[in-house]
C-alpha cells in the first residue's frame, strides 16, 4: 500500500535522532530556568582599598510553557475483520490503519511546530513572525525583528527586552537570496552559544522548498551531501550547512504571502530549543479494545508535549529569500 498523504517531518526526525527531544513525567506547566541578569556588580580597584560592591540580584527567571495532549483513533470493524480472513490479513489491516493514523498525527504535530498551523496551538511553535500573513504568534520562538530593536514577542512568558540570549538572530533577504546571509546569521549566533550544549551551531536548518533550491544553486560544484537516512527515516536528500543539515520543509511557505511574511530559513540550535514529550505519551499506541455497543475494535495513539526554549540567540530566522 502506498500512502499518497506522506510528508516528511524534518524537525521531529532530526531532533529525535540527535537526542534533542527530552521527556517529562507530569506537571501543570513545562518550567525552564533562564539566566536573564548578572548576579553582582564589578568594583574598580584603583588603590586596592575600595569597598567591594556587595549588592546582588536574582539572575534567573522561570520560562513557563504549556503542553498539549492529543489523540488519534485507530479503528477496525467486525465486518472488516471477517472480510480479511486469517491472522496475517487482520494484522496487515491493523498495521496499515496504525501507520496511516501515526503519519497523520506526526504531520500535524510537525506543522504546528513549524508554522503554527493546527488546532492544538498550546504546544507552542517556532513561528513568531507577526508580519501580516505569516501566521505567527507573539509566543512564537523565532520573530522577524532585529535583535537590537524592540521585541514584541515573549519567551515562555518572559519579556525578551534586549537580552542577547532571548533574541533570535534575524535578517530579511529583501527578495533576493545570497549565501552570505546564512553565514552572517551563523556568525552572530555563534557569539552567544547556550551553556551546556554540545558545541554545535545550527543542528538543523529548515528551508522552504524555494529557499532550499536557492541554497543548492548557490553551491554548484561545492555541494556537499549528507546521507539523510542516517538522520531522517524519510530518506530525503539533505544538504550540509553549519554543523548540521539543511532540509526542505513543506509547512513553511504561506499561501499568498509576500516579502517578510515568507519564512525562508529557520536556523535552529537544538540545545536552545527543545521539544518535551511526556514519557507515557510519546506517540504511544494503547492497543486495541472492543467498542461497547458496536461490532468493532479501536485503539488510540497519544501525544503529549510542548515546544520550549531556554536560549534563542543561538537560532535565527531569514525571511523573503525569494
Distance, CA of 92 to CA of 72 (rounded, Å): 19
What pLDDT was estimated at residue 197? Answer: 84
Of 17-31, 38-52, 185-199, the poorest mean pLDDT is in 38-52
Mean pLDDT across the stretch 20-34? 91
Q: Which of 248, 270, 131, 117 is nearest to 198 (CA)?
A: 270
Whether the pLDDT of residue 5 is over 50: the answer is no
111 vs 8, 61, 119, 243, 249, CA distance in Å? 10, 30, 11, 24, 9
pTM above 0.85, yes or no: yes
**pLDDT exceeds 90 at position 277:** yes
- pLDDT digit string, tens, across residues 243-272: 899 999 999 987 778 999 999 999 999 999
Summary mean pLDDT of the chain: 88
Examine the pLDDT at 308 and tell me if it is beyond 80.
yes
| Per-residue pLDDT tens over the stretch 214-230 | 998 888 666 566 555 55
pLDDT of residue 237: 60
Provide the pairing of β-strand 296-309 with 273-285.
Answer: antiparallel
225 vs 149: which has the higher pLDDT: 149
- Per-residue confidence (pLDDT) for residue 53, from 0 to 100: 84
Of residues 170 and 96, the one with the higher pLDDT is: 170
* Tens-place pLDDT, residues 82-141: 888 777 776 778 888 888 899 999 999 999 999 999 999 999 999 999 998 899 999 999
Indicate the range of 15-24, 87-96, 194-203, 281-290 predicted with least confidence. 87-96
On the question of pLDDT at 3 being above 60, the answer is no
Q: What are the domain boundaries of the chain?
A: 1-36+58-322
- CA-angle at 309, arms to 60 and 23, nearest 5°: 105
Tell me what pLDDT residue 6 has. Answer: 56
At 223 the pLDDT is: 59
180: Cβ–Cβ under 8 A, 6 or more apart, which residues?
none
Q: How large a percentage of the chain has pLDDT more than 70?
A: 92
pLDDT at 2 over 50: no
Contact 301, 72 (CB under 8 A): yes
Residue 35 or residue 273, greater confidence: 273
| In this structure, CATH architecture of domain 1-36+58-322 | Alpha-Beta Complex (3.90)
pLDDT the model gives residue 222: 62
Going by pLDDT thresholds of 50, 70 and 90, the confidence category of residue 233 is very low
pLDDT digits over 35-92, tens only? 877 778 888 988 888 888 888 877 788 999 999 999 999 998 988 888 887 777 767 7
156-177: b (≥16 Cβ within 10 Å) or e: bebebeebbbbbbbbbbbeeeb
Give residue 255's pLDDT: 75
**Phi and psi torsions of 251, nearest 5°:** -80, -10
The whole-number pLDDT of residue 141 equals: 97
Amino acid at each position: 500500500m502506498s500512502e499518497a498523504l506522506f510528508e516528511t517531518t524534518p524537525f521531529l526526525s532530526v531532533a529525535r535522532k540527535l537526542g534533542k527531544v527530552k521527556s517529562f513525567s507530569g506537571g501543570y506547566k513545562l518550567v525552564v530556568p533562564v539566566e536573564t541578569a548578572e548576579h553582582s556588580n564589578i568594583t574598580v580597584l584603583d588603590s586596592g582599598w575600595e569597598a567591594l560592591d556587595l549588592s546582588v540580584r536574582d539572575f534567573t527567571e522561570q520560562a513557563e510553557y504549556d503542553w498539549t495532549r492529543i489523540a488519534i483513533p485507530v479503528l477496525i470493524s467486525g465486518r472488516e475483520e471477517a472480510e480479511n480472513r486469517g491472522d496475517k490479513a487482520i494484522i496487515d489491516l491493523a498495521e496499515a490503519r496504525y501507520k496511516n493514523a501515526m503519519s497523520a498525527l506526526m504531520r500535524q504535530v510537525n506543522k504546528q511546530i513549524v508554522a503554527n498551523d493546527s488546532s492544538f496551538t498550546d504546544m507552542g511553535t517556532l513561528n513568531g513572525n507577526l508580519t501580516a500573513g505569516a501566521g505567527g504568534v507573539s509566543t512564537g520562538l523565532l520573530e522577524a525583528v532585529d535583535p537590537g530593536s524592540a521585541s514584541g514577542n515573549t519567551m515562555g512568558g518572559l519579556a525578551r527586552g534586549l537580552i542577547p540570549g532571548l533574541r533570535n538572530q534575524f535578517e530579511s533577504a529583501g527578495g533576493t537570496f545570497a549565501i552570505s546571509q546564512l553565514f552572517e546569521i551563523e556568525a552572530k549566533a555563534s557569539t552567544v552559544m547556550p551553556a551546556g550544549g554540545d558545541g554545535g551551531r545550527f543542528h538543523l536548518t529548515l528551508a522552504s522548498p524555494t529557499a532550499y533550491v536557492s541554497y543548492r544553486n548557490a553551491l554548484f560544484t561545492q555541494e556537499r551531501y549528507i546521507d539523510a537516512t542516517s538522520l531522517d527515516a524519510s530518506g530525503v536528500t539533505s544538504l550540509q550547512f553549519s554543523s548540521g543539515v539543511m532540509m526542505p520543509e513543506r509547512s513553511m511557505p504561506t499561501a499568498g504571502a509576500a516579502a517578510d511574511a515568507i519564512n525562508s530559513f529557520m536556523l535552529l540550535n537544538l540545545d536552545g530549543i527543545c521539544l518535551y514529550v511526556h514519557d507515557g505519551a510519546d506517540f504511544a499506541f494503547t492497543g486495541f479494545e472492543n467498542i461497547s455497543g458496536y461490532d468493532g475494535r479501536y485503539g488510540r495513539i497519544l501525544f503529549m508535549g510542548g515546544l520550549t526554549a531556554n536560549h534563542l540567540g543561538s537560532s535565527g530566522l531569514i525571511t523573503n529569500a525569494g
